[in-house]
Amino acid sequence: DPYRNDPERHPSLVVRSKKPFNAETPLALLGDSLVTPTPLFYVRNHLPVPDVDPNSYRLEINLGNGTKPLTLSLDELRKKFKQHTLTVAIQCAGNRRDEMNGIKKVKGLTWAEGAIGNAQWTGVKLRDVLLAAGFKDSDIDDAKHVQFEGLDVDVSKAPYGASMSLGKAMDAKSDVLIAFAMNGEDIPKDHGYPVRIIVPGVVGARQVKWLSRVVIADEESRCHWQRNDYKGFSPSTDWDTVDFTSMPSIQDLPVQSAICEPANGAVLEAGTDEFTVKGYAWSGGGRGIVRVDVSPDGGKTWQIAELKKSEQPEGKAWGWTLWEATIPVENRESVDVCCKAIDSSYNNQPENVAPIWNLRGVLSTAWHRVKVTVPP
């Protein structure tokens, strides 16, 4: 069984597939803490979890210019570079995919609203490590890419991989981390032990776990999940007409929010005159959440939610925002709650999912809606 090395998992996770293991955080728990507890953090594995010996582990840094690659042990990685701890949310491109199935069936794992989490990641800057490997700022070429390779491999021994632009990785202000700790402890097996890349503000698929190699190259990673998946298409594109080369790989994600509590379909106590709605909001590219609007009547009237987030400079708002609002019942028997978040570029979420439907069910960011019943 190639999955024999997979670790034990928390029983509260909502399992979407066992081999490979994919599971999301129960929605009711997701809105409870600004930092998602590690054992409850969603897991998205495409392949079996590799068993990595921390003593023999080496990270290879290859500048792709014929020079000898730099190899670093876990100890060297920890000791030779300045360490940074950053709060960064990770979201799978397929978070909330299930809502797209309501329009027309999409291809991909079923995810509700729990394929997202917020954690504190500790590591060293990719930029610092590339500089130590001999890379010079004068060699920055925006047409080039930094490829990341994992230690998890498919049946043909091809590893999971992804890439990002070299310019972004080498930007003097870049926060891309080679991370070895999650919420103050070793990164657990499911989340990339001993080392993963953290590209803040970017889709989950690029956050390569069990990182083995970093390679500068003229082209994007050749990995299936970089080139032939995790791209957004028109609602009119179907599996007969789709051309994966026609769209760029998803990197920065669009603005997102969801209601964590109450659950859709919840029945409140008879006579309740107000109740609390809680949720999360986040946007890609370091754009902070500046406002969350909540409606008690499906979007006719709105109120402004109270926000809770970590202190982060604008443009580097990598962590998510939790929010809360008190909704008056006003004799309604059924309350149609919905929410939408606004990021610092005043990006907004679409009202409905139909116009953003796509065959892979990615980038599902319509207003999130829950129906709550209040018996008279």
Which parts of this chain interact with ligand MTE (CB under 6 A)?
Answer: 41-47, 90, 92, 150, 152, 160, 190-191, 204-205, 207-210
**Closer Cβ to ligand MTE, 23 or 305, answer by number:** 23
Separation of alpha carbons 195 and 129, rounded Å: 14
Q: Rounded to whole angstroms, how far apart are CA atoms 111 and 94?
A: 7
Which parts of 176-235 interact with Mo ion (CB under 5 A)?
A: 204-205
Q: Looking at beta carbons only, is 92 or 129 nearer to Mo ion?
A: 92
- By a kind-dependent CB cut-off of 5 to 8 A, residue 45 interacts, out of Mo ion, ligand MTE, none, with ligand MTE
* Minimum distance from residue 251 beta carbon to ligand MTE (Å): 13
Least Cβ distance, residue 63 to ligand MTE (angstroms): 22
Q: Which is nearer to ligand MTE, 208 or 322 (CB)?
A: 208
Parallel, antiparallel, or unpaired: how do β-strands 211-217 and 58-62 relate?
parallel
Backbone angles phi, psi at 290, to 5 degrees: -100, -20
Query: Could you say which of ligand MTE, Mo ion, none residue 262 binds, taking C-beta under 5 to 8 angstroms by partner kind?
Result: none
CA distance 173 to 313: 12
Q: Which is nearer to Mo ion, 204 or 361 (CB)?
A: 204
What is the rounded CA–CA span in Å between residue 91 and residue 44? 10
In the complex, the smallest distance separating the C-beta of residue 137 from ligand MTE, rounded to whole angstroms, is 28
Residue type, 144: K
Task: Quote the least distance from Cβ 253 to ligand MTE, whole Å.
Answer: 11
Nearer to ligand MTE, 16 or 125 (CB): 16
Distance from C-alpha of 115 to C-alpha of 306, rounded to nearest angstrom: 23
> Which tokens is 134 given?
């001999």
Contact 35, 118 (CB under 8 A): yes
| CB count in 10 Å sphere of residue 145 | 24
Distance between CA atoms of 312 and 305, rounded to whole angstroms? 20
Residue nearest to Mo ion (CB): 92
**What pairing do the DSSP bridges indicate for beta strands 145-153 and 211-217?**
antiparallel
Nearer to ligand MTE, 183 or 295 (CB): 183
Does residue 92 interact with Mo ion by CB under 5 A?
yes
Residue 42's binding partner out of Mo ion, ligand MTE, none, with CB under 5 to 8 Å set by partner kind:
ligand MTE
CB of 148 to Mo ion, least distance (A): 14
**Residue in the shown chain whose Cβ atom is closest to ligand MTE:** 204
**Whose Cβ is closer to ligand MTE: residue 44's or residue 145's?**
44
Closest residue by Cα to residue 362 from 200, 203, 190, 164? 203
For ligand MTE, the closer of residues 190 and 261 by Cβ is 190
User: Which residue, among 82, 115, 83, has the nearest Cα to 97 in the 3D structure?
Assistant: 115
Q: Is 168 in the site for Mo ion (CB under 5 A)?
A: no
Of ligand MTE, Mo ion, none, which one does residue 113 interact with (CB within 5 to 8 Å by kind)? none
Q: What is the chain's percent helix, strand, coil content, to nearest 5?
A: 15, 35, 55
How are beta strands 256-261 and 274-282 bridged, if at all? Answer: antiparallel
Q: Give me the least distance between CB of 110 and ligand MTE, in Å please.
A: 14
Three-state DSSP state, 251: coil
Nearest approach, Cβ of residue 262 and ligand MTE (Å):
26
Number of residues that bind Mo ion (CB under 5 A): 4
Residue 209 touches which member of ligand MTE, Mo ion, none, C-beta under 5-8 Å by kind: ligand MTE
Tokens for 262? 């109450």
d(CA 78, CA 179): 9
Whole-angstrom distance, CA of residue 355 vs CA of residue 236: 10
Q: How far is the CB of 44 from Mo ion (least distance, A)?
A: 4
Is 188 or 299 the residue whose CB approaches ligand MTE more closely?
A: 188
* Binding residues for Mo ion (CB under 5 A): 44, 92, 204-205
